[in-house]
Amino acid sequence: MSKFKYEKAHAKARALNRYNLKFSNKDLINLVNSIKNGETLFSGNVTNNVSYHVIKYDNKTIAVLLDEKRNVIKTVLKLWHRVTLKDGKVISGKEFK
pLDDT at residue number 59: 87
Supply the pLDDT for residue 7: 87
Each residue of 61-79: pLDDT tens digit? 999 999 999 999 999 998 8
Inter-residue contact 27 to 42 (CB < 8 Å): no
pLDDT score at 97: 64
DSSP percent split of the chain into helix, strand, coil, nearest 5: 35, 35, 35
**pTM value?**
0.87
- Give the pLDDT confidence score for residue 85 in this predicted structure: 82
Map out the domains of the chain as residue ranges.
3-96
Could you tell me the maximum CA-CA distance found in the chain, to the nearest angstrom? 36
**Nearest in space to 65 (alpha carbons), one of 32, 37, 89:** 32
CB neighbours (10 Å) of residue 72? 22
How far, in Å, CA of 74 to CA of 83, rounded?
Answer: 14
Q: Which amino acid is at 66?
A: L
Residue 31's pLDDT is: 94
- Residues in the chain, pLDDT under 70: 97
